Each structure stands twice: as structure tokens, then as C-alpha cells.
Structure 1
């Protein structure tokens, strides 16, 4: 048992020395956290890398082909862009408002404040009396002539006769079938 475990222990020890030595070389070649550009923090999938100069965050993981880092979407950048867009829109609105105020000031002054005489009270349901100019105008609707009335009466008489004839025929058909 000791002969079987000793080569295994030896292999583990050699691997630890090799990995430990490689880790020491990597630690020596990388600048320390205070002066380096990147700050690395271990996570379950690999490492999160923070770029201290730009503030960009990346996730790094060891794929089969080697280590690969991918930028994490930055919500703050999107929020900053939206804030900038809204501020620009606000500035445009302020400029338009100033133009409208200038146009309003250029117009003739209107009555502002309290006036000496009270406004006359009016009944909103009461019809306004026609003015003199409106009273002179008359709308005339021509009435139908006697000839037009005769034509309408003859049409109605014919329609009534036809309706009565149709009702009589229907009654005969129904009574004949019963």
C-alpha cells in the first residue's frame, strides 16, 4: 500500500511544485492591485476583471482553447446616454419656450389684472337678441305649388291602392290554402 501511494504522492507533490512555481512567476509578472490597471476577483465561472482606467468590467473564463474575456454590458452607460439625451431635449425645449415668450412679449399688451367696471352678467341659456343688421335679413323658403301638391297626392293615392290590392291578394291566397 505504501509503494502504491508513494508514486501517487510523489506525482502530486511534483504537480504542486510546478503549479506553485508557475503561480509564483505569474504573481511576479503581474503588477500589484494598487498600481496595476486591472483588478481581478475570482467567481465560480472564472474571474471578473475590472479595468481601473476605464471602469469597464469583463468576465474571464478558461475555455478549451484558453482564457477568454468578454465585456459585461454596462447599464450605467445606457443610463448616462439616456440622461444626456433628455438633457439635450430639455435645453431645446427651454430655447423654444424663450422664443415663445419673446413672441408673446412682442404682441400688443392685453388687459391684465382687475378692471374698474365689472363684466356684464349674461344668461348662457338665453338666446341673444338679433342685431339690427341680422334683423333686416330674412330667410324665405318657397312653398310647393298646387301642381307639386297634386303630384304628391296622386303618388300617395296610387301607392295606397297598390298596398290595399296586395293585402287583398294575400288574404285570398291564405284563405284559399286553408
Structure 2
């Protein structure tokens, strides 16, 4: 059974041991629950050191032990660069919209609905007339005929020019031999 002793009767080494034990327990409790005020950085271990996240700014750094001490280097923030580029493009877009709105409308009779998508060079499908089984083939347009005539005229001119050059070459060779 233990007897109560007065504090003056406790030896100095016993008091020192109790203080050390209580201090160690207090430090363990402090580490288990991080201080909200001083817990600015979150650390995660990696192969070469730790990754440090600043919980207030969102900045990420890599920290390594370089033999002379620990050094932390800020990682480039790609998100900030992307946000800056998006902001620049939005400002350019707004500026161009303002310039476009300031101009007088040059197109008259503009409609809001889109034009139907058709291919002007695509030929229409032959239609079968019901009941008679006749196929109707669409004739070429005047534009198509003009294009064909222009091509044929150019081809004919080139053929005539080539024949004239050949005739000059042949007559020059024949007269040169005489």
C-alpha cells in the first residue's frame, strides 16, 4: 500500500522524470491533432524528399535534402498559365465583339437561320417517274456548260500552238540542211 508523501519529500530525479513523461505525452497529442493556425503546409513523402502543398495559396514545391540542408523549389503552375491565356483570349474576344458591333452592317437582307447545306457540284439523282418507269436525267447547267467550253477552247489553242511550233521546228531543220 502506498502512503501519501508531501511534495517536499519527493526527490528531484523523480520530479524530473515526471516532467519529461508529461512533456512527451503533450508533444504526442500536439502531433496527432495538427494546429489549425500553424498547419499551413501539407507534406507528402516521395522518393527524393517531400512534396509540400501550401494550403493557403495552393502552391506546390518539391523539398529535398541536399547535404547542406533542405531546399524547396516551387513547381511551375500550369493552371496559372492556362488561366492567364484564357483571360487574354476572353479579353481579345470581347474587344473583337465590340469592334464588330461598332461597324455599320455591310450585309443587307441577312437572315439568322443557316442556309441549307448543298453541294453545287453534286449532280442530282436521276428521278424515276412513277407509273411509267422512265428515268429523268438532269441536264447540265449553263455554268457547267461554260466551264466545259472554256476547257475545250484552251485545249484546242494549246494543240494548235504545239502544231505551229512543231511545223516551225521541222521547216527550220529542213531549210538548215539545204
TM-score, normalised on structure 2? Answer: 0.43
- Kindly name which structure, 1 or 2, has the bigger radius of gyration based on alpha carbons: 1
TM-score norm. by structure 1 comes to 0.43
Greater share of residues in helix: 1
